[in-house]
Amino acid sequence: MASERNIRNIALIGFMGSGKTSVGKLLAEWLKFDFFDTDEFIEARVGKTITRIFAEDGEPVFRQYEREVCEYLKGLSNTVVSTGGGLPANQANLDSLKTHAFVEYLWATPEKLWERVRHQTHRPLLQCPDPQSRIRELLSIREPYYRQADLLVNTDTRSVAEVAQLILREFRSVRAPAPRQQ
Ligand code: S3P
């Protein structure tokens, strides 16, 4: 469990194709926050694409990089973080995010997720003979983690702006100063 919380960032979690990047960029623009993508950070640090890291070094090495990113994130403020889909499926990573960020799970049905990612090729975990079953299988493993978010947002029927609006409202309410005692 996240013990002490000092909420100064927003962290978006959810499966590949849930809209974390689009929603995150819009939120960062509205709030005048920085935008931080954990995958982009890892790629820049290692000097390889995620696809190459998986192929040449293997998934466990990638997951280790994700754990290191979580340590780095603790030093940030006023930042919207878009996390890789598997990053919060590790209790220590999730707990770490919760110490400094308001955490939202962008939720979508497996069908909708598939519709969004089916023409993309940069996600090694879905380069397999039956990606739709893989989505369902990974989702069932990850849901218990994703559901520990502060806010669960259904993105199936909402636009990027609607999802961002909803998160913004909630974030402002958790960040609002306590009413002054007269
Ligand atoms: C992964 C999701 C990807 C990326 C990597 C592994 C996962 O990020 O981190 O391919 O395990 O779900 P996105 O969720 O941003 O696509």
Question: 174 pLDDT exceeds 90?
Answer: no
Ligand 1 contact, 131 CB (< 6 A): no
Query: What is the arithmetic mean of pLDDT over 145-156?
Result: 97
- What is the distance in angstroms between the CA of the first residue and the CA of the last residue of the chain? 35
Question: 93 pLDDT exceeds 90?
Answer: yes
Tell me how far apart the alpha carbons of residues 15 and 181 are, in angstroms, rounded to a whole number: 43
Ligand 1 contact, 14 CB (< 6 A): no
Calculate helix-pair angle for 110-117, 131-146, nearest 10 degrees: 120
Give one word for 137, left, alpha or beta, with left for phi > 0 and alpha for psi -120 to 50. Answer: alpha
Question: 136 pLDDT exceeds 90?
Answer: yes
| Mean pLDDT estimate for the chain | 93
DSSP states of 132-151: HHHHHHHHHHHHHHHTTSSE
Question: 1 pLDDT exceeds 90?
Answer: no
81 CB neighbour count, 10 Å cutoff: 28
**pLDDT band with cut points at 50, 70 and 90 for residue 182:** low
CATH number of 9-169, picked from 3.90.420.10, 3.40.50.1000, 3.40.50.300, 3.60.20.30: 3.40.50.300
Whether the full predicted model's pTM is greater than 0.85, yes or no, is yes
Nearest protein Cα to ligand 1, atom 8: 84
Q: Where are the domains of the chain?
A: 9-169
Nearest protein Cα to ligand 1, atom 16: 16
Angle at 13 between CA 155 and CA 154, to 5 degrees: 20
> Which of helix, strand or coil describes residue 123?
coil
Name the residue with higher pLDDT: 123 or 84: 84
Residue 40 Cα to ligand 1 midpoint, Å, equals 11
Tell me how far apart the alpha carbons of residues 13 and 94 are, in angstroms, rounded to a whole number: 9
| Nearest residue to 14 via CA among 137, 179, 145 | 145
- Give the model's pLDDT for residue 123: 86
54-71 residue pLDDT tens: 999 999 999 999 999 999
Torsion sign (Cα): 48, 51, 55, 58? positive
Length of the chain: 182
| Nearest residue to 146 via CA among 100, 88, 102, 96 | 88
